[in-house]
Chains A and B, each alone.
Chain A
């Protein structure tokens, strides 16, 4: 065939719709109008890239640029006048306490992320060994991640209701709770963070499981021959292999905690101190028409997330994560 590829070993080339290659065709193609062909060759990739690039620029880069621009104005999103206000918006975000409070709400979700990762790691380790009903458990643990956010919100609204699921289950065990789970900020945030754990642990779990299962079995056998205990196996075989996935999960968890919107918005609308950063940004922009302020808030969030990603890329150099 041809000698130019080093990937030929991977798959035998399949010529589905074309006739078997003939030498006559080859020479005919090469002698065509060479310059026009060369120009066409040069712009072909761009032809393929036009649509994606246009979409990318229109819906990602233009908004980011505009956002930064808006953050320095006092625009309300609708009227034609837009006054330059310098860094006033940013000053407001960091000084007005009601605006700043949303950062603290993120901490609940950060804590939830930590729980998520630990729980996911535990179950991934446990289910990487041959247990009965392994696939069943795997499916059950992962399924919540696939469920529609609104549906989850309602399921858990009912769960936390007065006399709802949680109260009923607790009364089984004898406790008679008279607690409004979503009534005060601490309890509400904890409950909502709990829903977050319920929802997202499955994804972390599958990622970890994939990483653990890609560890070659001989390592385990060798370790067992050497008399290593389960805990030692975990420490020396599993832990190093899952470092990339672990750091990835940490990044997803942290940026996820900062960008929480769905669950709290659907369940409480951001009331009773459960307002998250994104909820507040959305309200500022679309309810109170403070586009400038909302843009500044969004820029701050973006910078924080970029910073965290950058830190992660430095601490754990970007190794290609091949799980499949």
Chain B
């Protein structure tokens, strides 16, 4: 889409302004992050003496990262987060695809009711119900375990069901019927035919669910208060106490948390854009 020749002269100034605005916006985005990155490479004297925008003396000063990792218990946190991610994502994929399969492939009397139940649940923002959800979780004895977040992430995720549903609607029913003629029951059809065909949707759900869970602070904060039960978010949050104003350590922690997301983003850009666009339009 190029500008027509006769508007190019008028468009020249406009184009420059547009580029300027883009560059300015990029700076606004990148500057805070860059500064934190620089700070993470400084020693505490450099942080105290130098200005915020000064460059670190030694660009390979990874001491702060080591401190953040060990004292900040980030290893445990990464482990816990990985555990939670594994089970909640697997659970979400299985449950979401099963729900979509049941809703799309079968006709039963209460179908509208069930769909209504799921739809209404999307209207309820999770933050509001935590006071009562807490009691429910507690009554199961799951408070301060990793299973609380796992179950919560599985049980309150309507977005993934929606994504699977959209996708499964594009799989022709003839596939099911052909399998049924060969004597396959519904479960076999689900396992051997539908699931493999759902791979793109599964990829999408894995990615956005993964990022959402990785970044979540609220639920681990409420349900896993003890020190060993930190996730990435809560472990980083706990930096504030012991590290006080040692910004070089806090910065290192923050960068440690951001880097995995950056890597995932760079490799899976297209999936991420599509996934969040689909997720938001529920």
Contacts and interface: CB of A to CB of B under 8 A. Distances in A.
Interface of A: 1-2, 4-5, 7-8, 10-11, 13-19, 21-22, 25-26, 28-29, 40-42, 44-46, 48-49, 51-53, 55-64, 66-67, 70, 77, 119, 122-123, 126-127, 129-131, 135, 137, 139-151, 153-156, 158-159, 163-165, 167-169, 198, 203, 206-207, 210, 217, 220, 224, 230, 245, 248, 252, 255, 259, 261-262, 266, 278, 281-282, 285-286, 291, 294-295, 298-299, 301-302, 305-306, 309, 321-324
Contacts of B35: 158-159, 165
B18 to A, nearest CB: 5
B74 to A, nearest CB: 12
15 contacts: A13-B175, A13-B178, A15-B193, A48-B186, A49-B114, A56-B155, A57-B117, A59-B155, A62-B132, A137-B22, A142-B273, A158-B52, A291-B135, A321-B281, A322-B281
Contact of A21 (B19, B129, B182, B258): B182
Nearest to B186: A44
The 6 A-B residue pairs whose C-beta atoms are closest, nearest first, are: A55-B155, A59-B155, A63-B132, A45-B106, A67-B132, A48-B102
Contact of B215 (A146, A169, A255): A146
A152 B203 CA distance: 27
Contact of A147 (B101, B133, B261): B261
A149 B128 contact: no
Nearest to A260: B127
Interface residues of B, number: 112
A291 B135 CA distance: 10
B244 interface: no
Contacts of A137: 22, 25-26
Of B196, B215, B218, chain A has the most CB atoms within 10 Å of the CB of B215
B227 interface: no
Contacts of A59: 133, 136, 151-152, 155-156
Contacts of B52: 158, 163-165, 167-168
B261 A148 contact: yes
Given A56-B121, A158-B36, A143 B174 contact: no
A323 B136 contact: no
